[in-house]
Amino acid sequence: MRILDELMSHGVVSAAVALIATREEIEIEEAVGEAPAGIATRFDFASVTKPVVSTLALVLDAEGSLPLATPVGDVWSEAHARLARRPLADLLRNRSGLAAWTPLYHRCRNLDEAAELIVRGGTDGDLVGARADTYSDLGFLLYGRAAERRLGVPLMALLRERVLGPLGMDGVEGTPGERPDLAASRMGTGQEVRLAAKLGETCGHAGLFGGARDLWKLGAEWLAPGRLLKPEGVAAALGGGGRFALGWWRRSLRGSAGKALSPSAFGFTGFAGNSFWIDPEKGRIFVLLGSRIDPFIDINRWRRRFHSAASARGRIR
């Protein structure tokens, strides 16, 4: 199926890269779209940044420098009562009861103020009390700030030292920069990056920037841990019930994964147009990066079609 060409012809993306791989090798890797579209093109990861942060969380948990069982109140004594007793793991499993989102760049002047606003539950508790399975950008932002607070190192530096460097994810950066291999955004996501940058955010909610091979390297470690992650840590992160694992979505038929992926598959998507899924039963990693044009198009149906074609070992162009 000509999924990549159809994504272009239907006006879903202006550029896209698809990658299907095992832990050991890339099986299919293709690119389409406007220049600089190519295999090495970097895209705005957006929320696909979150599995990267969760990988850091497992590393810090294993070394004991920031256990996932640590209550939020142990990091911030001033935490709202509804949040203080929650372990840090709940921030990454979307179980903290934090609101999904709030315009921090309007409510706060910097990242310190943003973290304080979140940890105190907002104004009159407007940021706490959501359903325990509410997908929350704020939870991931707060975990990143907790790591900085406890270790005394900026989050981007922690990611480089503990995750990106060890896994060879050399194409990943915290700010887009001026490099010519960056896919242009035609959906206006750059404005959110600029607003978030006013708070000092270079990753997390605003997102990292990188390529398909970078995500393949991350997926390979989750598929067969041992180089950076511990198998028992990955098993614990992926265990439990509900819609979310630690740092990941679980496979659903109506979501981005679709029926082509196994029930044990886990992954993440980004609003900018990206999809990243790992299927342990098939032993495959599926990456579809795109520079999305229209936020109102149902992009998940294209992601499901991509997984169907890739799982059937068919061509994607």
**Residue 140: phi, psi to the nearest 5?**
-70, -40
Residues paired with 44 in a beta bridge = 209
**Residue range 220-250, pLDDT digits in tens:** 999 999 999 999 999 999 999 999 999 999 9
Query: What angle is formed at CA 60 by the lines to CA 58 and CA 64, rounded to 5 degrees?
Result: 115
Quick one: DSSP state of residue 291?
E
**What average pLDDT is seen over the chain?**
91
Which structure tokens are listed for 207?
């997102």
Element (H, E) at 44: strand 43-44
Higher pLDDT, 290 or 206: 290
pLDDT of residue 305: 96
Q: Whole-prediction pTM value?
A: 0.93
For CA atoms 214, 173, 42, 266, the dihedral sign is: positive
CATH of 3-311, picked from 3.40.630.10, 1.25.40.20, 3.40.710.10, 3.40.50.1980, is 3.40.710.10
Domain boundaries, the chain: 3-311
Most confident by average pLDDT, 98-107, 142-151, 173-182, 308-317: 142-151
Higher pLDDT, 311 or 78: 78
At 35, is the pLDDT very low, low, confident or very high (cuts 50, 70, 90)? confident
Q: Taking a C-beta distance cutoff of 8 angstroms, is the pair 62, 48 a contact?
A: no
